[in-house]
Structure 1
Amino acid sequence: MNIHRIALIVAILVLPLQLTLAHASTIGVLWADDPAGSKYEEHAGLRTALQAIEATWIEIDANGSSSKQIEDAIGLFDQSVTALILDPVDTIAASRISKEARLRGVPVIALGALVEDPWVVSVDFDYRAAGRAIANNMMTETPGQSFLVLHEEQKNPEDNLFLQGQLDVLKPAASVGRISLYQETINPIWPQEIAKRNLEQYLFPRDDQIDAVIAPSGEAAKIIADSEFGEKVTIGAPASDVETLGRINSGRQMAGIWLDRRELGKAAVAIAMKMAMGESINTTTITIEKPDHLVQAFLLEPLLVTDKNLQMKIDAGSLSPPEKCRVASNDMDICEGLFAQYRAVPVLFGTDRQQNATLSGVEYNDQRSGKLQLGLAWVTVPEDHRFGVVERPASIELPLVTITFEKEDPKAHFTIASINTLSPSEFHAYATQRLSAADRNEGHALVFVHGFNVKFEDALYSTAQLVWDMQFDGLVALYSWPSKGTVKDYFYDVDSARQSRDKMSAFLDLIKSVPDIQKITLVAHSMGSAALIEALADQASRTDFTPYDDIIFAAPDVDADDFASLASRIITFADGVTLYASSSDRALRASKSLRSHMPRAGDSPSSGPLILKGIDTIDATAVSNYVFGINHSYFANDRSVVDDIAALMLSGIRPPDRRTPTLRAVSSATGAIYWQFPK
């Protein structure tokens, strides 16, 4: 088999002759869908190569339509393109376009797809070689003798070749008794939880027999690595994503295959230019499933990645700073160095939202998972950040879609650079590392619980904005319960917040168990206050409970009478409790109207705010009275309130007017004292 190495392609691109040919040729490029999406790496490599030789090209996006792609191809042929680079929508489009191209004498190069057509040259990776490389490595490095090969029920040609490559190595070894070989078929379209159960069913019966598992995808490898079998078996997979490199770095996966898809784009351009001038290309004929299913392919050599060459891959320059951070398992020193240009805030989190696994990392939605999940996110703060503002791209939310008017830019917007899931031990290790690096807030942990109508990513942005503006450099943690993130789902959020109490309680226990923590401050906003109170009540019922240092309730969306009846218990949860209230809070007014006009604990009516023994109540009406504002997030938006919270956390001084002299003590009609920001 002829394997053409990437170095050869680069050499072709820089030939002076190639520059001359480029000016005489027009290359057509047809994308199956938006190339800025799933094909962005191929697109970047292709454009880099075309620009390097000053080529003329025309590119069109088919928007996933086979018929449109066929029409687009005919249009390009009518414009006399000299070669066509094709990212086919499907086999129908590939076949029709190839037939028309052959009639017109236009060479076709299939980009990252194996097309069974003698007129088409398919530029792809050598997946069979990848399968052999994984199997050989694992046979060499795995102490045991039993292999389980998982393959997908609905295989594409690349998956089939990867499987063939594994069996090229493992079957002969099994036939002479060197190893035991098991094979199982899995369904690639299972939802994650079903996939987990089904993968485990293949491992449970053979718990003592299996030493190594070769998974068909990064998703399957992740499920196995995260299961109870992850520490018992050696794992290999063909995935080329950043998560795979991260598992290899942390020792949770032995080997993976890195496929640099930018090189596919560069190779396709080099071949298109040669074929446009009538030059022949040395291709390899490969068989797909059946003997008569033949593909003429130009194959790039895949890179086997293990812990031995991982650093070389990281240093090669093809990974962005967020990707390098994720590979480094969010190592604080590495990530802070990588994100220095963006001013990044690390946020440890716990959540009981459902998780979505994506190619770009991890996301959490608005559904309830019923379990505590842990992780670490890095949130970047823009260069021109204004105090109290979460800068995000301008957008309009419609009932079915959000329309965004500008591209996300770390220099102008808060962005999520990286999200990684963590085990409890990884969570502990990072928390300890973060605490040891703190200066201003040494040994201090801040735990934030968000309120109503907040999506997971928005909770991260708000947490980062608050701690950045407070200049807090201790341990930052967020608990995100499954809010729908929409105004109309108020009562869903009420139930979601409260059902999170046991998971939140477990998260707080985990924070308390981190070594070297000297002080913990809990900040709950709006509806999050109700969930926090219930979680703390659960903890306080235990004989080994120790109070927290401070609890801050910011605009609590809790029934005022209910809060008052619980006050005697709430003050036992911490050494100090603070309540911020405002009469200008329009969100609490709306909540009040939904609750038969019963007052909320965070409201400050004409008779004055809620004043309770042992709780410092601060009326923030004067600094939260914006004509066009909802005035519900003043605790993070207004400098006076943020500075007071920062002073409380830094000094612990009470009463409030001793740490913030601008606050003035006010006596209520009953003689009880509360504090008020001046107008």
Structure 2
Amino acid sequence: MPRSSLRFLLLLVLALAAGCAGRPGPDLLDTPATVAPDARTVSVYVASTRQRDEANARAFTSGRAEEVGYAEYTISIPPHHKPGNIEWPDRHVDPATDFAVVGYRELKREAFAREVSRPRNGSPPDVGVFVHGFNTNFQEALFRLAQMTADADIEGGSPILFAWPSEGQVRGYISDKDAATYSRDQLVGLLTTLAGMKTRSDITVIGHSMGGWLTAEAIRQLRLTGRNAVIDRLQVILAAPDIDVDVFRAQTAVIGPLSPPMTILVSRDDLALRVSEFLTGERPRVGKLDVNDPRVEEATLKAGVQVVDISELEAPDDFKHGRFAQLATLYPKLAGTNQPGPGLRQAGAFVFNAVGATLSSPFVLAGKVVGGQ
């Protein structure tokens, strides 16, 4: 099949699947809801370069804001929640069966800083930042972080969503890349602010898909501007990063080795990244690296990064692009164990055994993004 025809076919499949699944609208954020019996709640903080919706004070659009907006959402998790899933409402929100927003506060910058750094149970909080990916609307990103927070089952954390203005549409790939670039300085500012706070451990930053590119660019900018002390406070995890391999090589050449090493979560069968490769002229993406390739092992050791294949994890989406979300479900099992495998500070290429969980270290770190230890 000609390359142009195959590209069209992949995009058509992606568009049709997204259309069939439906997309959650901003009305989910302003539906008055009460907590159902036996449900639990999680709080998610937001720092966003999206414009606020004039018609819905709780919602953020795909427009680009001139200043960062801040908020706190309290989200109810239904009693029969299946780990790894988001129970989206069908038509009307029912807290007994669906994720539901049960609390909201718009915050100013100073109040946001106070809240995320506020001690929990007499101890400084753990702070994690989630940077979402391409083709993601605000409510999808918000509920995804709520799901990971709930599944990690950790108390005393401050999970933060950095929401950049993705169009939330398949055809918006180029504009999403521009929107991510538009948000780079603001992510740098957020990380700089957080690094100045007293926290219980390193600040974990996880960037998914195109959010991985944005995260790597922010770390690169911190290095170029001499803010090494900020970088030293971070544990960086890139999940299915939509980054050109050569671009990533150039980024890591500037960033240099991190301690602990930057962790890259990859899957060779990621269909969304396959589409990205077509859109970018068959340029291979970092999120599809083959850890069995000796050249990958050599490159990871040279760059001082840790690459882990998570293909054995069940994917929550048809495009096998969201496997990282399953890691939170494993955190309660993996936390505090001393299983064999690479240490937290070990670079190289590895495969995660989902059954034996033999490579636990990177996933304990991944769990921290939702407020872990």
TM-score range with shorter-chain normalisation? Answer: 0.7 to 0.9
What residue number does 2:204 align with? 521
Q: 1:587 and 1:635 mapped to 2: Cα distance?
A: 14
Mapping for residues 46-61 of structure 1, pairs under 5 Å: none
Q: 2:198 and 2:272 mapped to 1: Cα distance?
A: 39
What residue number does 1:355 align with? 52
Q: 2:196 and 2:340 mapped to 1: Cα distance?
A: 30
Q: 2:189 and 2:337 mapped to 1: Cα distance?
A: 26
What residue number does 1:556 align with? 241
Q: 1:605 and 1:584 mapped to 2: Cα distance?
A: 10
Mapping for residues 482-497 of structure 1, pairs under 5 Å: 482-497=165-180
What residue number does 2:121 align with? 437
SS in 1 for 2:312: helix
Selected match of 1:631 from 293, 310, 320: 320
Q: Does 1:619 align with 2:312?
A: no
Greater Cα radius of gyration, structure 1 or 2: 1
Selected match of 1:566 from 222, 239, 251: 251
What residue number does 1:334 align with? none
Mapping for residues 371-390 of structure 1, pairs under 5 Å: 371-390=67-86
Distance 1:585 1:617, change over 3 A: same
Give a deviation string over 1:358-381, Cα, whole Å, max 9, x none: 46x421101111321111111221
| Displacement after TM superposition at 1:655 (Å) | 8.4
| Displacement after TM superposition at 1:545 (Å) | 2.9
Q: 1:373 and 1:339 mapped to 2: Cα distance?
A: 30
What residue number does 1:344 align with? 41
Q: Is the 8 A contact 2:134 2:211 kept in 1?
A: yes
Q: 1:516 and 1:678 mapped to 2: Cα distance?
A: 31
SS in 2 for 1:362: strand
Q: Is the 8 A contact 2:209 2:240 kept in 1?
A: yes
Q: Is the 8 A contact 2:148 2:325 kept in 1?
A: yes
Selected match of 2:101 from 416, 434, 437: 416
| Displacement after TM superposition at 1:651 (Å) | 6.2
Match for 1:379: what amino acid?
I
Give a deviation string over 1:397-442, Cα, whole Å, max 9, x none: xxxxxxxxx3111121112223322112211221233x42388xx6
What residue number does 1:369 align with? 65
Give a deviation string over 1:552-603, Cα, whole Å, max 9, x none: 1100000012112322334445533111111111101111111111110000
Mapping for residues 251-400 of structure 1, pairs under 5 Å: 342-358=39-55, 361-394=57-90
Q: TM-score, normalised by structure 1?
A: 0.43
What do you get for the CA RMSD once the two structures are aligned?
3.2
Q: Is the 8 A contact 2:315 2:321 kept in 1?
A: no
Distance 1:354 1:418, change over 3 A: same
Structure 1 runs not aligned, ≥5 long: 1-319, 323-337, 395-405, 660-664, 666-671
SS in 2 for 1:436: coil
SS in 2 for 1:575: coil
Q: 2:133 and 2:42 mapped to 1: Cα distance?
A: 21
Q: 1:362 and 1:422 mapped to 2: Cα distance?
A: 11
Identity %: 26
Match for 1:353: what amino acid?
R
What residue number does 2:288 align with? 603
Structure 2 runs not aligned, ≥5 long: 1-31, 355-373
Q: 1:446 and 1:653 mapped to 2: Cα distance?
A: 23
What residue number does 1:500 align with? 183
Q: 1:481 and 1:523 mapped to 2: Cα distance?
A: 14
What residue number does 1:477 align with? 160
| Displacement after TM superposition at 1:497 (Å) | 1.0
Give a deviation string over 1:497-540, Cα, whole Å, max 9, x none: 12110011112222223344532111110000111112222222
Equivalent pairs, count: 315
Q: Does 1:450 align with 2:125?
A: no
What residue number does 1:642 align with? 328
Q: Is the 8 A contact 1:622 1:677 kept in 2?
A: yes
Q: Is the 8 A contact 1:379 1:414 kept in 2?
A: yes
SS in 2 for 1:618: strand
Q: Is the 8 A contact 1:548 1:574 kept in 2?
A: no
Q: TM-score, normalised by structure 2?
A: 0.75
Q: 2:315 and 2:260 mapped to 1: Cα distance?
A: 31
What residue number does 1:24 align with? none
Q: 2:340 and 2:237 mapped to 1: Cα distance?
A: 14
Q: Is the 8 A contact 1:443 1:519 kept in 2?
A: no
Q: 1:346 and 1:503 mapped to 2: Cα distance?
A: 22
Mapping for residues 134-283 of structure 1, pairs under 5 Å: none
Q: 1:362 and 1:591 mapped to 2: Cα distance?
A: 32
Mapping for residues 527-542 of structure 1, pairs under 5 Å: 527-542=210-225
| Displacement after TM superposition at 1:548 (Å) | 2.8
Q: 1:655 and 1:542 mapped to 2: Cα distance?
A: 38
Distance 1:407 1:624, change over 3 A: same
Q: Is the 8 A contact 1:558 1:602 kept in 2?
A: yes
Q: Is the 8 A contact 1:416 1:457 kept in 2?
A: no
Q: Is the 8 A contact 2:76 2:101 kept in 1?
A: yes
SS in 1 for 2:217: helix
| Displacement after TM superposition at 1:610 (Å) | 4.1
Which fold has the larger relative contact order, with Cα–Cα distance below 8 Å and residues 6 or more apart in sequence? 2
| Displacement after TM superposition at 1:606 (Å) | 8.7
Distance 1:655 1:606, change over 3 A: closer
